[in-house]
Amino acid sequence: MKAVEELSPQVGTAAACRCLSVPRATLYRRRRPKPAALAIPPRPKPPRALSDPERQEVLDVLRSELFADQAPAEVYAALLDQGRYLCSIRTMYRVLETQQEVRERRNQLRHPAYAKPQLVATAPNQVWSWDITKLLGPAKWTYFYLYLILDIFSRDHPADGARWAGCWPTAKASTSPSA
């Protein structure tokens, strides 16, 4: 940017930017001073908001023994049946929320801590693992499936274990079992 600023009085801004492969928009954006961050004024309290004594009256009614186990919608309906109007249902929830008295009422399932199982082999032939891999074949839509079974202690597959254990005849011991 410094080179463009030095070159632009002599050849012009467009030519300097073109020669140095700098977009003109970037140059102009960096020349413009950043505006000061605007302070957002606090929101004024609405004129129809509940006063502190009214909020306390709502809390007292919601906490009363008569309405302690009821939802705000039920309390609202019961109060209207009695001919009393304190506030809307949503305002009741807001008042309860400021006091942190609103939560999920359904039973929440607490999952026990689950220990990840570990397979430990201290000798061969105790724990085996397996895998199947799909391999592309020579022609389109043909596949080979590679099945692998491993002893996790020795990292051998069963044919290796059989060959080394002397299960195969000595003539075939140097070749694979399928040969």
What is the per-residue pLDDT across 90-128, written as a single tens digit (0 to 9) for each? Answer: 999 999 999 988 887 677 788 888 888 888 889 988 888
Helix axes 13-20, 2-11, angle to 10 degrees: 130
* DSSP states of 82-134: HT-----HHHHHHHHHHTT-----SPPP-PPPPPPP----SSTTS-EEEEEEE
For the full predicted model, state whether its pTM sits above 0.85: no
- Provide mean pLDDT across the span 131-158: 88
Using DSSP's 3-state secondary structure scheme, residue 128 falls into strand
| Long-range Cβ contact pairs of 25-34 (< 8 A, separation 24 or more) | 26/1, 27/1, 30/1
3-state helix, strand, coil in the chain (%, to 5): 35, 10, 55
Mean pLDDT of 160-165: 52
Question: Is the CB of residue 27 less than 8 Å from the CB of residue 13?
Answer: yes
The half-sphere exposure of 47 on its side-chain side, counting CA atoms within 13 A, is: 0
Question: CA–CA separation, 136 vs 145, rounded Å?
Answer: 9
Mean pLDDT confidence for 65-71? 90
Tokens (6 digits) for 77: 């309906």
